[in-house]
Amino acid sequence: MKPLAVIGNVNIDLILGPAAPWPKAGTEIIVDHDELRVGGQAGNSALAWEGLGVDYEIAANVGSDQFGRWLSEAFGARSSKWP
């Protein structure tokens, strides 16, 4: 069977917390936890298909900055054709 084609945007979700109480506008706080996760329509869909054992190819554009490199590493060989 041919792999599923996943086409769309791939982004970074930056999860921070906890933040209680919620900070007021214009203020800064320090949080105990930060985590990068794959996000975006294509990114989330691809990981869901992978979790179900479905073979897929993913097409997306990412930047050449640290987050783009992180996303490319997150998808491994599947990102080898990304511009």
Could you tell me if residue 49 is inside a domain? yes
Tell me the pLDDT tens digit for each residue of 1-29.
Answer: 899 999 999 999 999 999 988 899 999 99
Domain count along the chain: 1
Could you tell me if residue 19 is inside a domain? yes
Which of the four pLDDT bands, split at 50, 70 and 90, describes residue 41?
very high
CA gap 17, 13 in Å, rounded: 13
Q: Would you tell me how many other CB atoms lie within 10 Å of the CB of residue 42? A: 21
The model carries a pTM of 0.79
C-alpha dist (Å) from residue 23 to 17, 19, 28, 32: 11, 7, 7, 15
Could you tell me if residue 22 is inside a domain? yes
Could you tell me if residue 83 is inside a domain? no
Domain that holds residue 53: 4-78
For residue 60, the model assigns a pLDDT of 93
